Amino acid sequence: MGLVRRVSAPALLLLLGLAGSVSASPRLRLSTAAVGPINLAVGAAGPLQTIEAYNIGDGDLALTATTTAPWLNVSIGETGSCAQRAGICTPIRLELNTQGLPKGGHTGVVNITDPNALDAPQFLTVTVQAGGAVPARIEYFVTPGGTQEYTIRAGNNLNLTAATEGPEWLSLPVEGMGSFRYDFNYRVIASHLPAMAEGDFNGTLTVSGSVIPEENVAIPVTLRVASAPIYNAPAQLQFRIAEGGPAYVTAVELPNRGYGQVLASEVRATTDSGGEWLSAEIFADGQAYLVRITQAGLTPGVYMGTLTVVTNAANAEQLIPVTLDVMPAAAPALDYSTLANTLRVNPASVMAPGMLARIRGIQLTAQDPASAESAPWPDTLAGTRLLVNGIAAPLAAVSPEEIAFQIPEAIDPGDAIIQVERDGQPGNQILASVAWRAPRLELSTDSFGKVLFDDGTLAIPEVYGGRPAVPGDTVTIHLIGLGRTNPDSGTADPVQVSFGRSIFTSGAVVDATPTLVPDNPGRYIVTVQIPESAPRADRVDLAVTADGATSNTVQLAIR
């Protein structure tokens, strides 16, 4: 059952005390983490929204709720029977005073907390679409033979009619288009047909029958077909930072769904309310751009801006809305729902001693982002510590919104409290589940695992840049989550490596002893010889089992 490490008496007393606090603490849960988008006419107030908070721990919740969005009014109702689940809930009511909002999308964030509850605070996003969900125009960009889909997420029944010049390249799937539609999501698909050349094509989408006047319009629709890059731009960028904190900088890549490579030549930033809090610049020779948020002088509230990104793509100039939510300076807060191993493979919430993990939050440091320079990693970085059952975790990287860390090897299986501490100020506490071992295999590309030959070539088909293995070959498998290691040898307890296991067969199984990767905390390699009984295929399932815990399944090629 793993390599047992003794825990000192003071540490044991601390762990016992934390275990007691876990059993007596309430744990916050919300019926949803997002409300909307809610479509409404410009100048109209939105309908009252209610979500429910409930307790999956012990004791009672004592909730408060705040928001920086001026059009949101939040109140806590009386605790009683849940409306959507069995048990006791506390209603949280959201009044939408949206009469003064201009046409477009608007998002507010509600901070729901209880200072004595685990997994609190939690943040609820509320989105409204003033003027409805029907856009002013729709532009499609596809490569020859391609298709693109646009979804109108309405709040009521719509009647849609499509018309095009030339071939009928604009279609409306008939499923769910009747009056009994539940979700009011309308798919509008543009397709390049075989008889069509490259170039621009025009059409019209006529919308009628909506209770929102602005949605009953004829929308111009354009289809551009080009053998060129196509920038798959984000619908919006949203940032949430603390008042008075450091400037925030992030790189935004340029995903491509066309030919060639998308490269940016210019990026411009404007703000609706003036000021210079938003700026951007080209990065990595045009392969990305940097967005900088400078909140100095900004008071708590919601700020809007726009990025104009100019590229070599067929859709050469894209406007990307930017929303900035400046929150009052407060204690650091972790988001319990974001705890995951660094590989982000399911089940992501199960940790193991020594496992590499990440967690997101807000105001996690008041300094600029920092990374550990070398192993062993420090337990304090950028003025921040992360405690797991009171034991400081080794930190790989810290930024205001994310911490990359290693679960301390001294942690025993069971419930574990994770708490952030910034410049000596304790933050909230979240609860994690720790097992003796939780193996997770690294991926190289697609669904293929990081399985290497001695020369560094991947054991994947040639078409993906590697070469298939053959029985008798020796390969090295990379993984994390194997629990405590022997400090003298740098090894973990043996594991079983299975090739081609399925519900119908046990596959070929090989026993192996994992070893730590030098100067890479928490990362292991397992070196095995491909057995003669292993299946032959371009995609052979590979998994690792450690003390009854089975990893995610990846693939390798065996010829």
- Interval 307-362: pLDDT, tens: 999 999 999 999 999 999 898 889 999 999 999 988 876 656 789 999 999 999 99
Nearest to 94 by CA among 153, 34, 39, 40: 34
463 phi/psi in degrees, rounded to 5: -60, -25
Confidence at residue 246, expressed as pLDDT on a 0 to 100 scale: 83
Instruction: Report the alpha-carbon distance of residue 476 to residue 440 in Å, rounded.
Output: 15
pLDDT higher than 90, residue 144: yes
- Separation of alpha carbons 237 and 323, rounded Å: 6
Q: pLDDT band at 391, cuts 50/70/90?
A: very high
Tokens read off for 460? 């994947």
Report which DSSP code applies to 510.
E
pLDDT value of residue 101: 94
Amino acid at 58: D
What confidence tier does 490 reach under pLDDT thresholds 50, 70, 90?
confident
Contact 380, 362 (CB under 8 A): no
What are 79-135's pLDDT values in tens digits?
Answer: 999 998 999 999 999 999 999 999 998 999 999 999 999 999 999 999 999 999 999
What domains are there in the chain, each with its CATH number? Answer: 25-130 (2.60.40.10), 138-225 (2.60.40.10), 237-327 (2.60.40.10), 333-434 (2.60.40.10), 440-558 (2.60.40)
Contact status, residue 192 vs residue 147, Cβ threshold 8 Å: yes
pLDDT at 22: 57
Confidence at residue 21, expressed as pLDDT on a 0 to 100 scale: 52
Sign of the dihedral defined by the CA atoms of residues 485, 486, 491, 496, in that order: negative
pLDDT at residue 274 in the model: 66
Q: How many CA atoms lie within 13 A of 142 on its CB side?
A: 22
Pairing, β 72-76 against β 122-130: unpaired
Q: What is the dihedral of CA 530, 533, 538, 544, to 10 degrees?
A: -60
The single-letter DSSP state of residue 83 is S
Sheet strands (E) in 342-400: 350-351, 356-362, 370-371, 384-388, 391-392, 395-399
Give residue 11's pLDDT band: very low, low, confident or very high (50, 70, 90): very low
pTM: 0.83
Q: Where are the beta strands (DSSP E) in 407-493?
A: 414-422, 425-434, 440-441, 443-445, 448-449, 451-452, 474-480
CA distances from 105 to 127, 476, 514, 535 (A): 7, 50, 51, 53
pLDDT computed for residue 342 by the predictor? 86
What are phi and psi for residue 469, nearest 5 degrees? -80, 160
| Longest Cα separation, the chain | 81
Closest alpha carbon to 66 in 118, 12, 120: 120
Using CB atoms within 10 A of its CB, is residue 518 exposed (0-12), middle (13-18) or buried (19+)?
Answer: exposed
Nearest alpha-carbon partner for 315 in 253, 237, 257, 268:
257
